[in-house]
Structure 1
Amino acid sequence: MHYSEDDEIISIFLEETKDHLIILEDGILKLENQSVDANSNLIESLFRAAHSIKAAANLLKMKNIEAISHELENILDIGRQGSWVVDSNTVNGFLKGIDMIKEMLEFRQYSDEINAEALIQLLRSLIK
């Protein structure tokens, strides 16, 4: 099934993804310059939000949204291991990922035509 085939599924995806993006945005801002260990429940919540976006985008064949949310999930997985430095570069990169997903939701019929490779590489660089 291609995502344009079922408006009800798309509507649910959009609503849930917007909710997950709010969780991600609010959460990453709370984590900036804080101890990761003290916020493990928050990191777990953020990880679940990114994972949910990734899984739904995969089902709907929205490859760019899936790829970006996968990289956000990878960053959060580092945080779950307790070896994450949440500095301003990390926060800015993370927020760029969230903003790109928002843009892709707004123009979802063209989301896979948007070149997201530079952003994906930026997000990958945050975990090296």
Structure 2
Amino acid sequence: MQRHVRRASLARIFRVTSDARNCRMKMRQGMSSEIFNDESMLEIFRAEVETHSESLTAGLLALERDPRDTSRVDEMMRAAHSIKGAGRILGIDPAVRVSHVMEDCFVAAQDGRLTLRPDHVDVLLRGVDMLIRLKNNTKASVDWSQFNAEVEPLVGELAGVLSGKPTSTEETIAAPTTVPTAPSLVPDVVIVLPVMLDAANAESARIKFIEGLNSLSPVVRFDLSLTRDIDAMGIALLAAAPACASGTASRVEVVGANADLQLVLQVTGIDQLYSVGSCP
């Protein structure tokens, strides 16, 4: 019985890739309008966002740690371009506008015209969050103009990133304090993850993770003892964390994973990136 439960967990992980593949196959085969209806068209957009949001998040997290590492910029540019295309086909204007400016930012970074600083990455990550929100609200009767109040300022901030201007976050950063003459021991940072590690909670954990690395803590530890479910964004966070910590003074650990989560980490290969403990 436990094996069946674990198989169900695996099925949830592989659903995203399968949906995207099936939608693209329908387009290539020229399905009739009776089969290729409004719902299946909307599924194309959902599948594109689910498929590419993970690579966007992982790439941006790596870039936040090392702005000089542009090895994943091309992948992120193609991901934004793919989401833009799906949104344009379906007339999802907010998604087109957000992904279009994001794509332009990645193209500029790829050409060497723009260096994406950590404050820029924060804005781009909010762009990914917005695309996920739009994906979660896709239905045939939705009025996309309801998102204009949020999309307008976000697109403006993304345009500011494209121009290379500092964001409001960077402008309000306080002047650095002087380094103390007698260094003190920095304690380990423990990030207790919630019951459901979804996109919103993953973003909160990401911020704490970056703060932990910046504090020069010897260990930044993700505690999964409370976590019972994890979505693609949570998996992306855990997968990207070791690479982000590479070259820093911190070691990243994952502890407290129950049997089902350990299976997820094993199937995704995350358990090979660092040691994974079981529930105490």
- Tell whether the structures are fold-level matches, with TM greater than 0.5: yes
CA displacement, residues 50-95 of structure 1 (integer Å, 9 cap, x when unaligned)? 0000011001000110000001001101111123322221111001
Q: Which residue does 1:121 correspond to in 2?
A: 156
- The sequence identity of aligned pairs, in percent, is 27
RMSD: 1.6
Q: Give me the whole-angstrom Cα distance separating, in 1, the residues matched to 2:143 and 2:54.
A: 23
Partner of 2:38 in structure 1? 6
Alpha-carbon distance, 1:24 to partner? 0.7
> Does structure 2 conserve the Cα–Cα contact (< 8 Å) formed by 1:34 and 1:86?
no
Provide the C-alpha distance between the structure 1 equivalents of 2:144 and 2:132, rounded to a whole number of angstroms: 10
Give 1:94's match in structure 2, choosing from 103, 124, 132: 124
1:112 and 2:145 correspond? yes
Contact 2:98 2:155 in 1 (8 A): yes
Alignment TM-score, normalising by the size of structure 1:
0.86
> Which of structures 1 and 2 has the bigger CA Rg?
2
- Give the alignment's TM-score, normalised by structure 2: 0.41
Partner of 1:70: 100
Runs of 4 or more consecutive aligned structure 1 residues displaced over 6 Å after TM superposition: none
Structure 1 residues without counterparts, runs of 5 or longer: none
* Greater fraction of residues in helix: 1
Residues 13-32 of structure 1 aligned to structure 2 (within 5 Å): 13-32=45-64
Residue segments in structure 2 that go unaligned for 5+ positions in a row: 1-36, 164-280
The answer on whether the counterparts of 1:21 and 1:98 sit within 8 Å (CA) in structure 2 is yes
Contact 2:45 2:135 in 1 (8 A): no
For 2:89 and 2:46, the matched residues in 1 are separated by 13
Give the length in aligned residue pairs: 122
104-113 or 22-31, larger mean C-alpha shift: 104-113
